[in-house]
């Protein structure tokens, strides 16, 4: 499952590289561990992120996109595979190395209600990173917190308040301020807007884009809302059952989807335009995503694929280069 | 077309310790036989309370229908007793709730939950009810319905459970199907399956649908008319063409401009609506949207705008429609 070396990606430009990353979760049960079942959450994914770009990671629930993000930032220990950050392997870093890695790589979580400690003031939540990494103390710390709150559009007085006093959108801003406090290079955004109202989503997305421009940030943007992912990302990787089935530049992916799953996913999204909707032919894939405990042989999508052939059940399709960085894993290409 | 449901000046309030929350404040709309209408708006704008009031599912206290009328099949149902409502609910009106994980009873089999409705409303006996339940599961596209009937909700996936909910809502072929965010908890490919199913029902058995959603794409896909709600009021209503191609209210503009379109050929900038939805305990005095509106005038903060008719079915509540107001046109996305 190795992707051919991508010539468009210069070595120095790559900030994160993931090679054959696998994460399996053992399930309880089995006699003395025999016949133990395993959840195949992430099954060997490969990708690179360039400095300053946004890579979107999309897929339906249970496809392993969040697990991939959490494994990359080492909240989960990878089962196998390698993670390179700025050219250095960080798959097994620990202690100070790991602390150092987490300063450069940060994460924004999905649920702005659950990811902020209700007993800490906003100032302490934002300042916690500064304390842990010994970046500032005393007046410098206070100044930095005020500066960060200003960046995300809150008042410095808000530092003394508690999370419950804020709306969902404001809480997500606080989560972003916390992330920015340590000046990270790469931010993993795990469904940062899906808990928010539509009008608020645009506020957060615009802010993320402005921050990227100003601070040269790199994002791994994990979400299931393809319209929003397409809007914010430069390139998009589509995941299905723990594997990347297609990766391309976002406009290319939309215009020219190659994998049957990507095609179905794109056609399933209703477009807010009645005339477009009326004239569209929709591919409705039948059935549901198979269980990651016992995934099908060969291509994982074959059980729902309208074009499945015998070879699909026998062999795992490799990612094929289709020109200008567009890769897809399908036997029929 | 036959008028199925007519709601006039409906007001529902919740009386809490902090004061009266006017969740629905003077809402009027109608649904004709066989048509699908959409209600859109942000969370807390009163969409769900509106349809729950129509179903008379508002917990009383603290909730109360303060005023207005709901005429369903020619009969005012605001003052019906709970017993009379039970004869209508499930039989003439079916409802699909947002969360398929919590709206099924986890300790009863799917079969029992489905046949309960049939036994109650149609007076069917065990065997006949079972047979109908099998047919219904087949209708909503669940394979092996006989064995599925004996299973419990946890043995079904989210999409399958939502299908069971649809089957349940359809048990007595209701004239009106109310779907409150039916696909929000589902994946897009499953959402497409459920929407396809609802479209089929509308076309095949002429069911009327009220669809509540915050996704303007789903409305464009399924509905012929749209109500846009904000702060407990309908601020604009019209056909889908009116709302998507000729929107008049700045809030509708905001909704349309704040979402990215998958089919956009170049990357435009999203235009968010600044601020947050109003607190209905202390709603703004004039137009509810005035504090977030970029075209806000002095009058807007003082007086509630009346409805202006743009065409036969297209109504908007905005002071910009006043002859003396400055002319502002919808620019589309930036």
CATH number for B218: 3.40.50.300
| Together in a domain, B178 and B274 | yes
Residues of A in contact with B270 (CB under 8 A): 202, 205-206, 231
Interface check B272 vs A, CB under 8 A: yes
Residue B326 maps to a domain: no
Spans of chain B, pLDDT less than 70: 1, 332-334
CB contact under 8 A, B216 and A272: yes
pLDDT of residue A211: 92
Whole-complex ipTM: 0.78
Say if residue A170's pLDDT is above 60: yes
In a domain? residue B334: no
Residues B279 and B311 in one domain: yes
Same domain, B315 and B188: yes
Phi, psi of B50, rounded to the nearest 5 degrees: -60, -50
Inter-chain contact A199–B220, Cβ cutoff 8 Å? no
Range of the domain at B226: 5-92+172-321
Tokens of B178: 């109310």
Does residue B81 share a domain with residue B206?
yes
Q: Phi, psi at residue B142, to the nearest 5°?
A: -105, 125
Average pLDDT over residues A120-144: 92
Please indicate, yes or no, whether residues B194 and B50 belong to a single structural domain of this protein. Answer: yes
With respect to residue B203, please indicate whether it lies within any of the assigned structural domains.
Answer: yes
Chain A interface includes B291 (CB < 8 A) = no
In this structure, the answer to whether residues B19 and B111 fall within a common structural domain is no
DSSP per-residue string spanning B7-71: EEEEEEEEEETTEEEEEEEEEEEEEETT-EEEEE--TTSSHHHHHHHHTT---TTTEEEEEEEEE
Residue B332 located in a structural domain: no
Asked if the structure places residue B53 within a domain, the reply is yes
pLDDT at residue number B195: 87
What single string gives the DSSP state of each residue in A235-279? EEEEEETTEEEEEEEHHHHHHS--SHHHHHHHHHSPPS-HHHHHH
| Alpha carbon distance A6, A324 (integer Å) | 9
Q: Which residues of A touch B156 (CB under 8 A)?
A: none
In this prediction, residue A328 has a pLDDT band, given cuts at 50, 70 and 90, of: very high
Contact A272 B219 (CB under 8 A): yes
- pLDDT, tens only, B224-246: 999 999 988 999 999 999 999 99
pLDDT of residue A71: 94
Domain final position from B141, B171, B201: B171
Is B330 contained in some domain?
no
CB-based contact A274 B241, cutoff 8 Å: yes
Contact A288 B190 (CB under 8 A): yes
Total tally of structural domains belonging to chain B = 2
- Model pTM above 0.90: no
**pLDDT reported for residue A1:** 42
Nearest to B240 among A227, A254, A274 (CB): A274
B33 & B99 share domain: no
Q: Are both B121 and B41 inside the same structural domain?
A: no
Within-domain flag for B109: yes
The reply to whether residue B188 touches residue A199, judged by beta carbons under 8 angstroms, is no
Q: What is residue A32's predicted lDDT score, i.e. its pLDDT? A: 61
State whether B163 and B179 are in the same domain. Answer: no
- Which range (A1-15, A231-245, B83-97) has the least confidence? A1-15
In a shared domain, residues B271 and B203: yes
Q: Is the pLDDT of residue A228 over 60?
A: yes
Residue A217 has what pLDDT?
94
Residues near B258 by beta carbon (within 8 Å), at least 6 away in sequence = A198, A199, A201, A202, B270, B271, B272, B273
Give the integer Cα–Cα distance in Å for B39 and B330.
21
Cβ–Cβ under 8 Å, residues B141 and B197: yes
pLDDT in tens, A23-67: 998 876 656 656 678 888 999 999 999 999 999 999 888 788 889
Residues B205 and B155 in one domain: no
- Token reading at A179: 């992330």
Query: Is the separation of the CB atoms in A188 and A107 below 8 Å?
Result: yes
Same domain (yes/no): B267, B292: yes
Q: Which of B121, B141, B171 is the last residue of a domain?
A: B171
Mark which of B117, B144, B171 sits at the end of a domain.
B171
Could you tell me which of A38, A224, A282, A204 has the C-alpha nearest to residue B220? A282
- CA A111 to chain CA centroid, nearest Å: 14
**For residue B329, is it within any domain?**
no
């Amino acid at each position: 499952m190795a992707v051919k070396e991508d010539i468009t990606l210069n070595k120095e430009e790559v900030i994160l590289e993931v090679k054959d990353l696998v994460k399996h979760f053992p399930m309880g049960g089995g006699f003395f561990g025999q016949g133990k079942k395993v959840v195949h959450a992430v099954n060997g994914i490969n990708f690179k992120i360039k400095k300053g770009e946004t890579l979107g990671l999309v897929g339906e629930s249970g496809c392993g996109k969040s697990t991939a993000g959490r494994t990359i930032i080492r909240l989960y220990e990878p089962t196998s595979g390698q993670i390179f950050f700025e050219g250095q392997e960080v798959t097994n870093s620990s202690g100070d190395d790991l602390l150092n890695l987490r300063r450069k790589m940060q994460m924004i979580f999905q649920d702005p209600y659950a990811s902020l400690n209700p007993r800490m003031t906003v100032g302490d939540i934002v300042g916690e990173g500064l304390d842990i990494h010994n970046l500032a103390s005393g007046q410098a710390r206070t100044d930095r917190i005020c500066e960060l709150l200003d960046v995300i559009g809150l008042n410095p007085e808000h530092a003394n308040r508690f999370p419950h006093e804020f709306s969902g959108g404001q809480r997500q801003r606080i989560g972003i301020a916390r992330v920015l406090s340590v000046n990270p290079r790469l931010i993993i955004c795990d469904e940062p807007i899906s808990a928010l109202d539509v009008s608020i989503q645009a506020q957060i997305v615009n802010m993320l884009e402005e921050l990227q421009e100003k601070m040269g940030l790199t994002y791994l943007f994990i979400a299931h809302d393809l319209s929003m992912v397409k809007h914010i990302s430069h390139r998009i990787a589509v995941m299905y059952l723990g594997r990347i089935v297609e990766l391309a530049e976002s406009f290319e992916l939309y215009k020219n989807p190659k994998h049957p799953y990507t095609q179905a996913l794109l056609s399933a999204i209703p477009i807010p335009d009645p005339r477009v909707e009326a004239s569209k032919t929709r591919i409705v894939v039948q059935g549901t995503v198979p269980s990651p405990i016992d995934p099908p042989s060969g291509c994982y999508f074959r059980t729902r694929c309208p074009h499945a052939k015998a070879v699909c059940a026998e062999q795992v399709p490799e990612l094929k280069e289709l020109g200008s960085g567009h890769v897809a894993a399908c036997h029929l290409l | 077309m036959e008028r199925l449901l007519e709601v006039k000046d409906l007001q529902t309030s919740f009386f809490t310790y902090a004061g009266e929350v006017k969740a629905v404040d003077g809402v009027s709309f109608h649904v004709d036989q066989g048509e699908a209408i959409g209600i859109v708006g942000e969370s807390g704008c009163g969409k769900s309370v509106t349809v729950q009031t129509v179903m008379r599912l508002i917990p009383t206290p603290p909730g109360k229908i303060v005023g207005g009328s709901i005429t369903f099949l020619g009969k005012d149902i605001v003052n019906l007793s709970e017993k009379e409502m039970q004869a209508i609910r499930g039989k003439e009106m079916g409802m699909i709730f947002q969360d398929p994980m919590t709206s099924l009873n986890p300790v009863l089999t799917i079969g029992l939950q489905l046949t309960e409705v049939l036994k109650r409303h149609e007076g069917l006996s065990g065997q006949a009810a079972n047979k109908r339940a099998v047919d219904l599961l087949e209708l909503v596209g669940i394979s092996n319905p006989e064995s599925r009937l004996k299973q419990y909700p946890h043995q079904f996936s989210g999409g399958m459970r939502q299908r069971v909910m649809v089957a349940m809502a359809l048990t007595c072929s209701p004239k009106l199907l109310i779907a409150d965010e039916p696909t929000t908890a589902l994946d897009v490919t499953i959402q497409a399956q459920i929407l396809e199913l609802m479209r089929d029902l509308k076309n095949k058995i002429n069911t009327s649908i009220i669809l509540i959603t915050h996704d303007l794409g789903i409305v464009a896909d399924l509905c012929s008319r749209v109500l846009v709600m904000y702060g407990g009021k309908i601020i604009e209503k019209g056909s889908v063409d009116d709302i998507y191609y000729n929107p008049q209210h700045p809030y509708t503009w905001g909704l349309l401009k704040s979402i990215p379109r998958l089919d956009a050929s170049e990357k435009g900038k999203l235009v968010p609506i600044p601020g947050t939805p109003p607190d209905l305990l202390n709603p703004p005095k004039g137009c509810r949207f005035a504090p977030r509106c970029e075209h806000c005038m002095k009058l807007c903060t003082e007086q509630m705008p009346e409805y202006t008719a743009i065409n036969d079915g297209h109504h908007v509540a905005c002071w910009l429609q006043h002859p003396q107001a400055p002319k502002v046109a919808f620019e589309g996305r930036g």
